[in-house]
Structures are given as C-alpha cells and as structure tokens.
Amino acid sequence: MTGISLSSLPPSSPPHADAPHHWVERLLLAGPGGEECLHFGTPVDRDALRALVGEQVERLAAAGLVPGGTAALRLPPSLGFVAALLACWQLRAQVALLDHRLTDHEVDLAVGRLAPQVLVGSEHRTSAALRGFSEVDPVAVRLPGGRPAATGHVLVQLSSGSTGPAKVIARTAGDLVRELTCYRKLVDFPGEGDRVVLLSSVVHVLGLVGGLLNSLHARAPLTVPARMTAAGILAAVAAERERPTTVIGVPFHAELLAGAASPPPLPRLRRMVVAGELVRPGLPAAFTAAYGVPLGTMYGMTELGVIATDLTGRLHPAKQPVDGMDLRLVDGELQIGTAASPYPGLDDPTRWSDGWLHTRDAAVLEPATGLVTVLGRRDSQVSIGGLKVDLTEVEQTLAALPEVREAVVVFDEGAIEAYLAAEDGADHTLVQERLVRELAAYKRPRRLAFLPQLPRTATGKLLRDPAVLRAAAR
C-alpha cells in the first residue's frame, strides 16, 4: 500500500454507520457500576471506567476530534489506552492503532500514510521491555494536515509484518460487533463469570477483540500481568481464587509457560488459547502435561478476526470454522467469503476479489465435517532441483526434535536455511543426524544456524526475513 493514503479515498458512509445505535455504551460499557471489568495492577469497576472514558471524550473534543474525524493512538497497554480508544469511538471517530514500541521514524511514516487529525500519545515513553502494562496519562495533539475519515471504518490496524511490509487493514463497527457475536457463541471461550489474563498485544486483533472488547462485552474481567515473564504471568493467574481463568496469548507465551520450572498450583486455570502462527508439534501435549488443562488454538486474520477454533485441544491441528464463515479452497489456497475488501484503497485481485479474501494460506478442508487445517503460507513452497519442498514441513520437523525449542526455515539465494533455538546443552550434531533420518536429502537445510533466541516481531511472532536472521546468526 505504499503511496496510498486513507484520506485520499472517495468519501463513503461515516464511521459507526453500520453499528447498533450507541454500540460502545450498550455493548462495552454497560453493566453494574461496582462490577470489576479491568485489572491493571489494581481493579477497575465499570463506574470508574465510564468516568475515565468521559474525561477522555472531553480532552479529545478539546483537541478538535469530532464525529467523522480521525485519531491515531500510540499508547502502551494501559487503562489510559482503553479509555482513549472507547472515547474516540464514543465521539464516532475512526481510530488507527500504532504499536507503542514503534520508533519515532516509524510513527512519522504511519502518520504520513494514515493522515490522522489527532495523535494520542503519552509524555513518557515506557522503557521496561517485559512490562505488561504502564500507567500513562493520554495526551491528544492536533496534527496539521490531518483529514477526516474517507471511509466508513472505525478501526485501522497495521499487520504485524512478520512476512513482509505491514498492510493497512480496516474494519467497520459492524465487523467488530459480528466478531463479538461469534465469540459469544463459542461455549469454551470466556463469558460472564469467567476471567481473562491477557498476554497478546491490544493493538492487534486477538488482544483487541478476543481479549479486551470481548471481556468488556461478555463481562469477564480482564487482567494484564505486571510482568510478561513466566513468573509474572503465573502470579497473575494464581491471584484468582474464584473465577475460572483463561489465558490468551501467542504460541511464544505457551512455550514460555510450558518450560517454566515448578509452576505454582493453579486451581482456577481453565485453559490457554493461542493464535497468530502455527503451533509446533508437541507444544499442546507439553502444556497440558505441565498444567493439566488444554492448550486451545485459533486461526484468524486482522482482516476478519476469528475464523476457526479448537478451544478444547481435541481437534488439533484441525479447527472448526465459527458460525457465518464461508470457506473454500482454490488451488490449495484458503479463501474466505467477505462482501467488501478490508484493504481501503488497495485494488489488488490477489488479495481480494469477487467477494473472496485470498488468505495466501495453504489448507485442507474436510468435506464431511467442515473442519479446516491450516498448513502454512503458500509462499513457503519452493523448488529445489525441480522438486517441490514445503518449508513449513521442514520447519515443523525441526521444531518437533527434542533438542529444538523453536525453528524458522527460509529460502534464500536458491537454498534452504534453518535458524534454530536449541535446548540448553543440546548436541547440535545430534540434530543433524536426526534430520538425515527424517527428511529426504533435497529437503534438508543447506545451513543450520543455532541462536540463543530467534528474532521476533513486537507482538511475539517469529521473524522470517533472511537478512535479519543472518544478522542475528552473526
């Protein structure tokens, strides 16, 4: 989407036009005043949250934000983030979410692309990399050259960029309400009377909709741990004595917890749910062995939200599509029916055409059951000497080895390269010997590089840029 500005698009219906009237108040803020809804170090009840949102409405309006206006949020996970986001929506504005870990240069580029009228940030930047949340006072600044919304979307997000440049993706209020309805139909997803411990980033779809918005809508109090370490996460889970607790994160978090030494008793832990990338073979069993509860998995996209789930862990690696999802396979690619393109201003038939979103994921659909198994990115298939090799297969084979914690396999300069994080004291020669037994010669990586840790995006996804991986190996 280089060179495309949302403000340059032809006008459409105003933001929030396709949502129920006062949807924020009715679906996200309603409830008994003294009921706990959030926990950022201390509990926050709904009366307190409504008061904070009202205060942010006044500040944003004073900065010039009006219905149909545009704002960008650059805030860390915090009560201030929640209040500012809901206040923007109460003002019926369009909101773009920027990860607080972006550099000033990256933020400038994003602002140039999105042209928001107001930028909401904080006076002090957070410095602790493993901090789960911060205490911030949002500051709204009017930006010169910002323009009102040119589309009817209420939410604009940037993709994680784990497989290439970030995409601009937009969703309407109706899209968000439909996704919340999907979550309410999932019997094993947190609902009223449950509790959520959220590890995923709130600027991306799982943490935002599956975590924050669903918790507010379902009246399942949400806790963000003070520290995103294994000990910090487990302490947040153990703090609950009454309500069944679900942990929501990405596979990296499940790996972290599965490897924790001597975890405390967690009688209220119900399950963990992860999404964002493929789960390595053996991780669900390892997690269940450590905690006695299932590791549920979900498949989703920023463009659509949740698509398919296996919350009980009994279907893995298959998943059940959520109600209303229309899935098909075309030449091995999974495509999903959606009436409009989620890419404002992008006319690319390889991403969306004729009512179908092209996921670029390879998958298997079972006609008898409707279950879907996502195999990995279609661009992971390469040719070696005229023979087809699926890099996802090679990566999963490596990740399943007992000596390997995680693996990334890439194709660069005509050869397969593998980057591995091995267990402490692992015999690297043994890894090579096992590969000889388990992979045909043409599938084996030309190079195995062992790193203490593999590079990740800000949201915990493994990076797959060969140049970045090669630099890390050096």
Domain ranges in the chain are 1-171, 172-324, 326-378, 385-473
Per-10-residue mean pLDDT of the chain, 474 residues long, equals: 45 84 96 97 97 98 97 96 98 95 84 95 74 94 95 87 65 96 96 96 94 98 96 96 95 93 94 92 94 97 96 95 95 94 84 93 94 87 76 89 91 89 86 88 90 83 88 88
pLDDT of residue 58: 98
In this structure, the strands spanning 36-39 and 320-321 are unpaired
Which CATH number is associated with domain 385-473? 3.30.300.30
Give the CATH fold of the 172-324 domain.
Answer: Rossmann fold (3.40.50)
Q: Token pair for residue 191? A: 């609902």
pLDDT digits (tens, 9 = 90+) for 241-293: 899 999 999 998 999 999 999 999 999 999 999 998 889 888 999 999 999 99
Compute the CA torsion angle 395, 400, 406, 407 (nearest 10 deg): -20
Q: How many DSSP H helices and E strands does the chain contain?
A: 13, 25
Rounded Cα gap, residues 24 and 350, in angstroms: 35
In this structure, the strands spanning 155-158 and 447-451 are unpaired
pLDDT of residue 8: 47
Cα-Cα end-to-end distance for the chain? 32
pLDDT of residue 127: 58
Compute the CA torsion angle 31, 33, 37, 43 (nearest 10 deg): -170
Q: Token pair for residue 276? A: 């964002």
pLDDT digits (tens, 9 = 90+) for 334-346: 999 999 999 987 7
Closest C-alpha to 86, from 127, 142, 37, 13:
37
Q: Which residues contact 347 (CB under 8 A, 6 or more apart)?
A: none
Query: What's the residue count for the chain?
Result: 474
Q: Sort 241 into a burial class: Cβ within 10 Å, 0-12 / 13-18 / 19+.
A: exposed
pLDDT of residue 390: 82
DSSP 227: B
Closest C-alpha to 207, from 300, 117, 87:
300
The predicted model scores a pTM of: 0.84
Give the DSSP H/E element, type plus range, for residue 299.
Answer: strand 295-301
3-state helix, strand, coil in the chain (%, to 5): 30, 25, 45
Strand, coil or helix: 429: helix
Which CATH number is associated with domain 1-171? 3.40.50.12780
Q: Which residues contact 388 (CB under 8 A, 6 or more apart)?
A: 381, 382
385-473 has the same fold as 1-171: no
The crossing angle, in degrees rounded to 10, of helices 251-258 and 230-238 is 90
pLDDT of residue 48: 98
Q: What is the number of other CB atoms lying within 10 angstroms of the CB of residue 200? A: 26
| Contact predicate 327/348, CB 8 Å | no
pLDDT of residue 11: 55
Give the DSSP H/E element, type plus range, for residue 270.
Answer: strand 269-274
pLDDT digits (tens, 9 = 90+) for 154-183: 999 987 544 445 678 999 999 999 999 999
Give the DSSP H/E element, type plus range, for residue 311.
Answer: none
Q: Which residues contact 229 (CB under 8 A, 6 or more apart)?
A: 130, 256
CA-to-CA dists, residue 20 to 143, 175, 305, angstroms: 30, 11, 19
